Every structure is written in C-alpha cells, then in structure tokens.
Structure 1
Amino acid sequence: MVFTELILTTGYSTWSDGPTSSGHPFCLGKLVASHLQRFAPRVYQAAVDVKTISGMENDKPALGKLSTHIQETIDLASPSTGSHMHLGNVGIWEVPDPGKSAFWTVERLYTIGDDARTVHTIPPQEQRLFGGTPPCIDAVVDNQVLSPVAIVGEGSLPPAANPGLDEPVTIVEPASETTRGRFRTSAIMVGLCGAIFLAALNQTTVATTIPTISNDLKSASGYAWITAAYFVASGVAGPIWSKFSDIWGRKLILLTAVALYFCFSIICATSQTMQMLIVGRSLQGAAGGALLQVVYATISDIFSMRTRTFYLSLLQMMWAIAGGLGPVVGGVFAQYASWRWVFWINLPISFVIFFLLWAFLDVHNPKTGIVPGLQAVDWYGICSMLAVVVTLLLGLNFGGDLVPWRSPLVICLLVASVLITPVFFLCERKARSPIVPLDIFGAVSNLMALVIGFAHDWAVFSTEFYLPLYFQAVKNASPVKSGLRIVPITCTQAVVGIVAGLIVHKSGRYLELIWVGVTLLALGNGLYINLNVSSSLGAIVAYQLVAATGAGLLFQPPLIALQALVPPRKTAAATSALGLVRNLSISIAIVVGHVVFSQRMDTQRNNLLDHGASENLADSFSGSAAAANVVLISTISDPELKITVQTAFADSLKGVWILCTSMCMHRCARTLEY
C-alpha cells in the first residue's frame, strides 16, 4: 500500500466510537465507505496490521472492530492525545480533545503542480475560517481523490520555514529515494528496464518466425493464435496483476511474474505441437501482463514526480531497442539456428532480472492475507470479459477455415459472445473494483480517446505482424531480411514517440498531435494497399515512414487526453481501461486480419490451377494454410507460376491493409475537447 502523491492537513475533528453523524467522513471508516471502495481491501488489511500507536506498544491501538463487509465502515475508538496511527506507509494524525472539538483548522496545505509540490502556510488568523465543518481538502492517493482527512506519508515535505501563503518551497525527496545509493538505484533500474525489455522483445521477435514455426509444427490453423493468445492473456491478466501488486506489494508480484515467465518460456521452447505452443504463449502472455503493468507502477512508487520522468524515458528506450532488435533477432534464429531460441533466450535474461529485483528492489510490501486479497479482485468481470473475447475470436477463426460460416459451432460461438457481453457490463456495474469502470465511457470524448487507442494498436500491430509475411512471400526475403525491413517502422515509431512526449511535456498540447497522428497513420496504411510484386524497396520504406510517424504520435497522446478528460480520482482506472482496450485490439486485429487474408487466398485457388499449379500446391496456398506454407514459394521452379503465387499473396494482403485503413479513417480526434 504505497501512496504516491499526498497532501498534508492537520486539525481538530469530532470523534466517536463509531461512524459520526456528520455528512463529512471524519473517521477512516466513513472515508472507506464513501471514497475508498476501490481500495477498501488493502485499507482493510493495513488497518488490521496496525500494532502500535506512537511507539506505545502497551497502549491499545485506536482501532475498533473492522466490519466483515468491505462497504461498511471501519469503527475507530477515540485516539490518545497526539497519537499517530500507522496504516502501511500512511499516518493519520488527530489532535487532542477527541469528542469535544467542533471545528477544523488547516495550518499547512501541500499542493501538487505540474512539476513540483508547493507548501502553502495559512496565517493563524485565517486558520479557523474553515470552522464548523471540515473543508473539502483533497488528498491524491494513487490518483484517487480523498476528502477530507489528515494524511502524511513516508518522505512527506517538512514544515515550511515561514513561507508566504503561496510561496513555493524546496522539495525534499522521499526518504527512501534520498538514502538509496547510486549503485542500488542503478541496479533497480537495470532490473525494471530488463523486465520491460523482456516483455517487449517477445512481442517483436515472434512475428518474423511465425511462418517457420507453422511449417515446422505442421499446423496452419494456429498461425494467428501464436500472437493473439499472448495478447489476450496479457490484456486480461494485466489488471489482475496490478490489483495483486496493490494488495501484496510490487516486489512479490514482480518476482512471481519473472519466475513464471521463465517457466512458461520453457514450455514454449519445448513445444512439439501447435496446441502446446499456444497454451505456452497464453501462459507467457499472462506473466508478461504483470511485467508491463507493475513495472510502471513500481517506478511511480519509488521515485518522486521530479525524477520519475527520466526513469520512464528509460523504459521507453527499452521499447525502442526491443523494437529494433526483435525482428532481426527473430529472423536470425529462424534462419540460422531454431525458432525455439526465440524462447530460450528469455531464460538468462529472466534469471538476471529476478536476481536484481530480489537483491535490490526496496519497496513496501503489505502483509495482506490471501483470502482478503483474492476477494478484492473483480473475478466475475474478468471471467465474463474473457468469455466474450475468446468466443468471438474462436468463432471468427473457425468460420470459413475449419468449418463453414453456417456451421452450428461458429454460430453458437458468435451468439454466445453477443449474449455474454451484457453479462460483462452487469458485472462491471455491480463490482466494487471493476476492471473497466463503466462511468469512463459516459463522456463522448472519453470514449473517442479509447477508440483512437483501439484503432492505433489495431493498425500498428497488424502492420508489424503481416508485413514480414509480405516480405517473405511476395518479395522472397529470408527471415533475417524480413526482420531488417521492419526496422524502419519500429525505430521511427520509438523516436517519434519520444519526441511527441517531449512536445507534450514542453507545450502541454496533445490534441494537435492526435489529429496529425490519425491522419498520417491512415495515409500510411492506405499506401500499403499499393504494395505488390514489383514495389521497390524505396517506396516500401517511404510508406513505412509515413505510417510509423503517425503511429509514433499516437502512443502517448490518447492516454494524456483520457487522463485530462477524467477527474483525478479516475485517472488510474482510465489508464488501466486504455491498456486493456489496446491489448484486446491487438488480439482481435491479428485474428480478424488472418480471417480476411485466408478468405481472400481461398478465392485465388482457381487462378493458381489455371496457371499450372498442382492440386496439392493449390491446396497449400489456400485459406489459412497459405501463411504457414510461405517456404514452399522458393521451391517453385516455374517463374510464371511463382509470380502468380506471389501476386496472390500481395492481393490477399490488400484486404488487411484496407481493414487497417478503415480503422484509422475516422474523425474521432475532432471530438476530443481541449
């Protein structure tokens, strides 16, 4: 339970043995009931963990019985004079005369600006202007607004030396940050950056090896699911891991995730069937969701706002490095060694990361029980969402491939997806801690920010997934060359993404970047429609630069827009919702793109037969089998037939580019407010 941004207030308030009759949440219980429903489970455990008050071990803690129902209040007995009750990293201060005072004073107020914290000292003659009832002073806790309560956390700012009412004072960094040595900080960051690099590398290395994997395992049906399974699991598991890290601490969850990633990589590397590989990729994605979610939360916990931007930029750099190396490394393994090394390479990296985080990461670990922790997770919402997505993807993947579209299996899967959708929304409406808070979708601008994130990841990952197929099938490139030809996209996206972040940081403007980004992304994907057998490398790179520039501009601004459009208390939920939407977008895009490509390849069968292809060869390049049999193109000796096959691949991939372009051709950016 690490609270990042805090405001300190001190004052008098009325205490009782239970909830007060006032409309203001004086006691912690009232605060939990009315403002902390999303954090109630961890507050519950933090309160249970209270052992002493102000170091007085023999004094009975000023904590009454905690209700078994989370939404009920926590009863607090009258505290001792000047007592200081610890709840994890947070202290709640109450001043003398409990039960008698009827006014509230504020001596100092800590506020949080764009770049610094400011201390405002209120003159004594003005301190009781808030008398009668507590003022509505907000404390930002994990981006959730609490009001009103006296809170001070570890490393809080010291009292100001008689500053004026609005005079800023020098920030004092959290104690844990100032006392942490340079070596320890460096070791922690190497571990955290390594975790991001590990997750990012596995997203980029696999794309160039999938044709080789499908051919080696003699399975075309799982072509799209090698990647889709990873992202479905990562998207669904991410919010669960994030919640677990709130409950049981960042370090424990990070170490668990790295260990699981190590084990699941072994499953992927030793897979003998496509089914085993897809299961391994699903498990690997579930562990990868923790690496992506919890690392960013850990950075926010251990570094102040002043230094946090620098360390977050290091994580962005890991994405850039992985994006540049991944496709090439995957191609090298597929061509010169074995595709299994794409997964074996995770083992030494995971081992080093685990050791660094275990030895050097120093963050608070709440002592939360297993049962209260598990009760805090929105299991109904998670299961219903997973059911919606999986039934939809299976129905789309089976239709027209394994079975006809009118097959009862396909119809049942698609209908089930539609029927379960309202169940998911009902679960989220009733949940105390929903993984997707529905009120975020209330405003059109919020919804459009999510739609832009959905369309962005659809186009970006479809391109990174299917362009290697174009290079290997149409341009007869080896896995290594196809990986090298993806580098202009990944590097441009990373560089433009960093530049966009700097522009927003300096100017505070993000809407213009969204407008330009959506336009360039749509234009670039539209240019991909022109790709054919005779397309020059220069033209291909030019198309890539246009699309990648638009994509790079849209990595961060939709998130910034969404955070700016929602109240501070909903920032964390909005961020989680956008991450979930993006992961689901990737999964759906890859499966739907594969369906479109396979259906169009089916229509090319007669044309291949007319140009002299045998029945077996035509079958090898029909439907979903086509993507898995790319390696057969190089064995065709007839030049005319070879060009016909390559043209069939290029024409079929046009459907994917048209789909990506249509996803970007909208005017969602215009609906966003300044």
Structure 2
Amino acid sequence: MTFRPDRRFWVVYGCLMLVMFLSAMYQTVVATALPTIVGDLGGVSRMSWAITAYTLAQTVAMPVYGRLGDTIGRKPLYLVAIALFVGGSALCGTSTSMEMFVAFRFLQGLGGGGLIISSQAITGDLIPPRVRATYTAPLGAMFGLASILGPLLGGWLTDVLSWRWVFWFFLPFGTAAWVLVALNLQLPRRHVRVRIDWLGLALANTGAVGTVLIATWGGALYPWSSPVILGLGLLTLLAWGALLPVERRAAEPIMPPSILTNRTFAVATVVSVLALGCLFGINGYLPTYLQMVYGVSASASGLLLVPGAAGMVMGSMLSGALVTRTGRYRLYPVVGSLLGAAGMAVIGLANQATPLWWMCAGVFVLSLGIGLFFQLIVLVIQNALPASVLGTATSANNFFREIGVSLGNTIVGVVFTSRLTSALTAAGLSSQDSSSLTPQAVRELGPAVHASVVSAYVDSLSPVVLALVPVLLLSALVALGFEAIPLSARTGLEQRELEKALTADPTPLAGDVPLTGDETQPEAGQRTPEA
C-alpha cells in the first residue's frame, strides 16, 4: 500500500505543525517574561502558581481528551482545545491581578493538554504507522525550534512592547489554525452515549495533582516533613494504589487495564519517563550554571543551549527517516538512551577549567540521543494497541510522561540546591548572601570569593548530573524489552474499520474510511521477528 496524501491532508498537517509550534513557543516565551509579569502584577509570592496552574490543567485534561476522542470523535475536541488555548492566552494578556493570571493560565492549560493529545491522535488516524515517523518527526522538531526562538521573542516582546503582547502576538495564528482545521479536517463523528468513568478520572487526577504539587511544594513552599506534604503524599499513594482495581471493574475505564498492562505501553512509558525526567530535570538548571560558572549573560546562556535544540531536531528527523525506510524501531530507544548517558557524562565531567564548547557538545549529544525516540515512543504505542483506543493510549503515555518530568525537575532541583547551599556556606557566605546571589553579583566578587562560589556551583551540579547517567543506562536496559511488532500500512481509521468488521459490529460509524490496501499486510499486534 502507498500512502498518497492529498491537498486537504497537507492543509491539516500544516495546522497540526502550527498548533504544536504555538504550544511549545508559549512555554518558553512565558518563562522569559514571567519575572516581569509577577513584578507588574505584584504576585512574587504566587510566582510558582503561574507555572503550576498550567502544568496541573494540562495533566488532568489529557485522559479526558484521549478517552472522549476515541468515543465521540477527535475533531470537535481538537477545536475545543484550540479555542481554550487561544482564549486563555488572550485573557492572560488582560490580567490585572496575579489571581486572574493564574486562573487564565489554568484555562490555557486545559486547552494545551488537548492540543498535544489530539495532534498526536489525529496523526494516528490519518497516517499509517509504516510511514508515520516521517511525519511526526517535524512535529517533534517544533519543540526544538521553539526552544531557540521562544526566549528571543519573549525577551523582545517584553522589552519593546509589553509582557501582555507575549499572549496576544500569536492570537491571529491560533485563530487561523482553528478556521482551517474546521474547514479541512474530516474525521468520523460518532453519535454514541458517553459514559464517563468519574471514579477512575478522580483517582488518576488526584494521583497526578498530588505528585505535581509534592514536586512543586516540597522543600520550597513547605518542608518535606510538614503535615501538608506528608498528608498529600499519603493521599497520592492511596489514589495510585486504588486506580488499577477500580479500572478493572469500570464499564468504560478512563485508563483501561488492557493498556496499562500492555508490555509495549509499559516499556515505552518507563523509558520516556526516565529519559525525559533526566533531560528536563537538567535543562532547568544549565542556564544558571552557565551564567554563574562561565560568567555569560542570561541571553547568551540561552543561545548556548541552541546545540541541544539542534540535536533534538536532528535526532527526531534521522530516526523518523530511518524507521520509515526500514520499518524497524527497537534500536533507537536503546541507542538514544546510551547517547543520552554519554552526553550527560560529558556535562557532568566538566569543571571551571573546562572550555565552553565542551558543555555545548555534551548538551548536543544528550539531546541528539533523546531526540532519536522522543516522538517515536508515541508511534510505537499507537502501533501496538487497537486503533479503537489510540487516543486513550496516547493520552495515558503523555499523562505519565508529564508526571515523570515534574519528578525529574524536583529531584534534580532538591539535590542541587541543598548541595549548593552547603557549599556556599562552607565558602564563607551567609545564608542570606547565598540566597541573593545573582550572576552580576558573582562577577563583582573578589578573586578568592569568586573562585569559591564558582567551585561551589561546579561541585554541586556535577555529581547530580553524573548520578543521572545510570538512570539513562537503565532506560536503555528497559528499552531492550520492546517487542518486534510490524508497523501497519493502514491508517488508524482503516484499522478501526477492520477491527469493527472482525467483531461484526452491526452499527458502522458514519464517515469511517473503508478498508483499502494490501489485505495481507501484517497488522499491529501480530508479532514477527525483525530481520
């Protein structure tokens, strides 16, 4: 079977890329403008909530978009997600208080979660797994491109116009994407009675929210031994523990046990949680490290991470092309994790005498490795499970991935900051002085104190980075558990038609694409060894 996309497909695909780019850009643009925003709105004490509100909303919305998309159809949900994201962005720009800003960020996050899930699921509906990697690789590259352009554009908009234009600048693009999707995307709309698994949804979201809040509050807003953190931890553990038994009894579970216990899903989710937790955990602290140790400016520290973005794009495009050419995918999560471990080791072995290019090389290798399977993981999961749960499986993987990233940020941050505080105290700085250190203040210190502070940063971060190397090696080991499942040559819609025919469903779904192509093509779920 040959996949021949038409003009309408290319319009939809262009919209998917635009929406993914906007979603990724907002993360980096807002991060750049956030200090100015909280200063203008007088909400420094609630600064963390500006980030947490979006993360929480995005995480809790993912299972809903995935399950409802499989049930009632993806197009209306995708349009709702774009509208929520664009509308929430517009409202953020009108905020007059920090409370309003946090509330509108939550609304924006509800749309953001749907953009990720629906975009990935729609590519599954429209593109056969056998060639899908070629088309999903550019979608993944949008995150790398946004990480380069976002800080530059965010700084320019904030300095030249106003932080409010950070949220208004992209509105015409989001509106255009909504109109083009509404006119050109043709997917089945299923008229069925929706039965929502409220208890399962409540347990999953309680576990996710609890994990994110513990990761955000622990050691920062509340001590780790405080009743709030301990109580939240107990509630979170109870929610996670009860989820699987409840889902086994649910008529239409929000997270079906058949997905959670599927070998490919389990392996893919563990690999993505370990690898992305390491990547994003260290990325959050590298700019500060570069500013403090090498004395570069804030904007220069952002530009020095460009090799990481380039590595991510190259890795994604390379694996996408090779998977489409050969049909084999098991190698890339293993090799990618090993490359990531090598890059992490290069970063961790650096010291104050190490040239700057060494750090850039380490970041490039780390990101190149993760990029080899960053988008590929979703394809592998979608190919291994029935097309009728494509959206549910996609959302479940992203759901746990978000939790892993939160935990990675927290673990790296807690260990790094605790070691740094001790090192700075040993260097002769008081707790008040160490907490108010800025890159400019470090550059103005005397030679002896300056050397001590730089040494404190190196000695604090390097062991943390090196400790992540075994985590990435573990990711490579887990990735060896992937099964060799042939990539189907049928789109998700065609596979769903086939599943329906095999179960003799008497009520076909209006608008589904009829089965076409080579009827002898091996389908997902039929395991054969890779040559």
Alpha-carbon spacing, 1:437–1:281, altered in 2? closer, same or farther (3 Å): same
Find the counterpart in structure 2 of residue 524 from structure 1.
343
Larger Rg: 1
* Superimposed CA distance per residue, residues 428-465 of structure 1 (whole angstroms, 9 cap, x where no aligned partner): 22223333322344466653332111112112222332
Find the counterpart in structure 2 of residue 144 from structure 1.
none
1:669 aligned to 2:493? no
- TM-score, normalised by the number of residues in structure 2: 0.78
Give the whole-Å Cα distance in 2 for the aligned partners of 1:217 and 1:646.
34
SS of 1:665's equivalent in the other structure is helix
1:617 aligned to 2:433? yes
Contact 1:209 1:339 in 2 (8 A): yes
Contact 1:458 1:660 in 2 (8 A): no
Contact 1:521 1:548 in 2 (8 A): yes
Give the whole-Å Cα distance in 2 for the aligned partners of 1:600 and 1:659.
14
Give the whole-Å Cα distance in 1 for the aligned partners of 2:264 and 2:128.
30
Q: For structure 1, which segment, 534-543 or 274-283, has the greater mean C-alpha deviation from structure 2 after superposition? A: 274-283
Report the CA distance between 1:500 and its aligned residue.
Answer: 0.6
Contact 2:308 2:367 in 1 (8 A): yes
Find the counterpart in structure 1 of residue 237 from structure 2.
418
Give the whole-Å Cα distance in 1 for the aligned partners of 2:295 and 2:41.
22
1:330 aligned to 2:146? no
* 1:536 pairs with one of 352, 355, 358: 355
Give the whole-Å Cα distance in 1 for the aligned partners of 2:416 and 2:95.
26
Give the whole-Å Cα distance in 2 for the aligned partners of 1:568 and 1:204.
34
Find the counterpart in structure 1 of residue 87 from structure 2.
263
* 1:607 pairs with one of 426, 430, 433: 426
Contact 1:454 1:582 in 2 (8 A): yes
Alpha-carbon spacing, 1:402–1:475, altered in 2? closer, same or farther (3 Å): same
Alpha-carbon spacing, 1:655–1:286, altered in 2? closer, same or farther (3 Å): farther
Q: In structure 2, give the amino acid aligned to 1:197.
A: F
Report the CA distance between 1:287 and its aligned residue.
Answer: 0.6
1:290 aligned to 2:119? no
SS of 1:253's equivalent in the other structure is helix
SS of 2:121's equivalent in the other structure is helix
* 2:412 pairs with one of 593, 601, 618: 593
Alpha-carbon spacing, 1:224–1:446, altered in 2? closer, same or farther (3 Å): same
Give the whole-Å Cα distance in 1 for the aligned partners of 2:123 and 2:240.
35
* 1:250 pairs with one of 74, 87, 92: 74
1:321 aligned to 2:129? no
Find the counterpart in structure 2 of residue 657 from structure 1.
465
Contact 1:232 1:584 in 2 (8 A): no
1:495 aligned to 2:495? no
Give the whole-Å Cα distance in 2 for the aligned partners of 1:518 and 1:200.
23
Give the whole-Å Cα distance in 1 for the aligned partners of 2:433 and 2:177.
47
The number of aligned residues is 482
Contact 1:198 1:346 in 2 (8 A): yes
Alpha-carbon spacing, 1:306–1:422, altered in 2? closer, same or farther (3 Å): closer
Alpha-carbon spacing, 1:299–1:390, altered in 2? closer, same or farther (3 Å): closer
1:472 aligned to 2:291? yes
Give the whole-Å Cα distance in 2 for the aligned partners of 1:595 and 1:280.
29
Alpha-carbon spacing, 1:308–1:672, altered in 2? closer, same or farther (3 Å): closer
- TM-score, normalised by the number of residues in structure 1: 0.63
1:452 aligned to 2:275? no
SS of 2:349's equivalent in the other structure is coil
| Runs (5+) with no aligned partner, structure 1 | 1-114, 117-170, 622-629
Contact 1:517 1:549 in 2 (8 A): yes
Taking CA–CA contacts closer than 8 Å with sequence separation of 6 or more, which of the two structures ends up with the larger relative contact order?
Answer: 2
| Runs (5+) with no aligned partner, structure 2 | 485-531
Alpha-carbon spacing, 1:527–1:494, altered in 2? closer, same or farther (3 Å): same
Alpha-carbon spacing, 1:444–1:270, altered in 2? closer, same or farther (3 Å): same
Alpha-carbon spacing, 1:435–1:537, altered in 2? closer, same or farther (3 Å): farther
Report the CA distance between 1:224 and its aligned residue.
Answer: 6.0
Find the counterpart in structure 1 of residue 370 from structure 2.
551
Q: In structure 2, give the amino acid aligned to 1:239.
A: P
Alpha-carbon spacing, 1:402–1:308, altered in 2? closer, same or farther (3 Å): closer
* 1:344 pairs with one of 153, 158, 168: 168
Q: In structure 2, give the amino acid aligned to 1:529.
A: G
Give the whole-Å Cα distance in 1 for the aligned partners of 2:104 and 2:220.
23
Q: In structure 1, give the amino acid aligned to 2:171.
A: L
Q: In structure 1, give the amino acid aligned to 2:76.
A: L
Find the counterpart in structure 2 of residue 200 from structure 1.
24
RMSD: 3.6
Give matches, 1:106-185, under 5 Å: 115-116=1-2, 182=7
* Superimposed CA distance per residue, residues 395-425 of structure 1 (whole angstroms, 9 cap, x where no aligned partner): 3443433333322222211122122222222
Alpha-carbon spacing, 1:367–1:473, altered in 2? closer, same or farther (3 Å): farther
Alpha-carbon spacing, 1:602–1:215, altered in 2? closer, same or farther (3 Å): farther
Contact 2:416 2:464 in 1 (8 A): yes
SS of 1:576's equivalent in the other structure is helix
SS of 2:480's equivalent in the other structure is helix
Give matches, 1:266-285, under 5 Å: 266-270=90-94, 277-285=101-109
Give the whole-Å Cα distance in 1 for the aligned partners of 2:78 and 2:262.
35
Find the counterpart in structure 2 of residue 633 from structure 1.
441
Alpha-carbon spacing, 1:235–1:519, altered in 2? closer, same or farther (3 Å): same
Report the CA distance between 1:634 and its aligned residue.
Answer: 6.2
SS of 1:433's equivalent in the other structure is coil
Alpha-carbon spacing, 1:415–1:314, altered in 2? closer, same or farther (3 Å): closer
Give the whole-Å Cα distance in 1 for the aligned partners of 2:53 and 2:128.
36
Larger helix percent = 2
